[in-house]
Amino acid sequence: MKKEDVYNDEINPDGISDILDNLTPDVWDRGYYCETDDGIWYEVYVNDTIKDSYQKIDLINDEIDKETFGGFHDMMLDHYESDNQITFFVPKDEEQYTLDELTDILI
């Protein structure tokens, strides 16, 4: 499965649904992943403590947020404010902008 097929119901009817184990509870409430030929999609949910600190993440208008989170690939925040959800992709060759890096940023 290719990266762009993750949301294709015919190819990947379960979406991003494999449960992530060993998430840092100081940051994450829960999380899921989907491995593709190109890398891994993550769908992670911050806990309420982190949400209090990062009530909004604005990659378009906020320069600090752009600098902090702009390196993550295909980051989607459209459900962040309502559901605490962050979705992003980590290509196979990516070494810096990973789930561990996002966890470190949010701590």
The 10s digit of each residue's pLDDT in 52-69 is: 999 999 999 999 999 999
Count of the separate structural domains present in the chain: 1
* Band of residue 48 on the pLDDT scale cut at 50, 70, 90: very high
pTM, rounded to two decimals: 0.95
Q: What is the DSSP letter of 85?
A: E
> Could you list the residue range(s) of the whole structural domain that residue 83 is in?
3-106
Q: Are 70 and 59 in contact (CB under 8 A)?
A: yes
* Band of residue 39 on the pLDDT scale cut at 50, 70, 90: very high
- Tell me the sheet residues that pair with 39: 91
Q: Are 76 and 63 in contact (CB under 8 A)?
A: no
